Structure 1
Amino acid sequence: MRATKVGIREFRSGLANFVDSDAPLAVTRHGQTVGYFIPVKQDRAADAAALRAAGEKLDALLQLTEGEVEEMVEDFKQLRKTEK
């Protein structure tokens, strides 16, 4: 696969579009290649699911009472002591 040449100004202004593309780019300055950009495809559905799960856990933690939080802190301290 051949890299498409793109000037550095165009690269900076269109970075969001280049990240979503499949093609590698040769970034140039004054006609000379100064670097390559190779976008990596990610599973955005998995990222969104992980973020959603983290949000649900945070919501659950925010609904804990002060007593429940203190109990969790004490449990954590005890676990740390037993691991040492």
Structure 2
Amino acid sequence: METKSVGIREFRAGLAEFIDSKQPVAVTRHGQTVGIFIPTARPTQVDLQALRDAADKLEAVMSLSEDDVEAAVRDFDALRKGAARRRART
């Protein structure tokens, strides 16, 4: 991605446009680069919902009792060993 170069006054005057852009901007003063502005993408509603869903799942896992966790580990081990046995047969 190409970086646009603008003077500090132009950058200050057009800041709102640069924020909405996806292109990085090299800010210059008297021809010397004094900074680089890299706009970040704003999260979409889909991104935000995915984060909320992940937080809900994490909260559900964190609230499991130690017995629930141990049962889940036992189930996982049994599935893993079963898969290993099936691979050994083929």
2:48 is matched by which residue type in structure 1? A
> Who is 2:62 aligned against?
62
2:23 matched to 1:24? Answer: yes
> Who is 2:14 aligned against?
none
> Who is 1:82 aligned against?
82
CA-based RMSD of the aligned residues comes to: 3.5
Q: Distance in 2 between matches of 1:45 and 1:61?
A: 24
Report % sequence identity: 41
TM-score by length of 1: 0.56
The count of residues paired between Structure 1 and Structure 2 equals: 71
Shift of 1:24: 2.5
Q: Distance in 1 between matches of 2:22 and 2:50?
A: 27
2:52 is matched by which residue type in structure 1? R
2:5 is matched by which residue type in structure 1? K
Q: Distance in 2 between matches of 1:42 and 1:26?
A: 17
TM-score by length of 2: 0.53
Tell me whether 49-58 or 39-48 shows the greater mean CA deviation: 39-48
Structure 1, unpaired ranges of 5+ = 12-16
Q: Distance in 2 between matches of 1:31 and 1:74?
A: 65
Shift of 1:4: 3.7
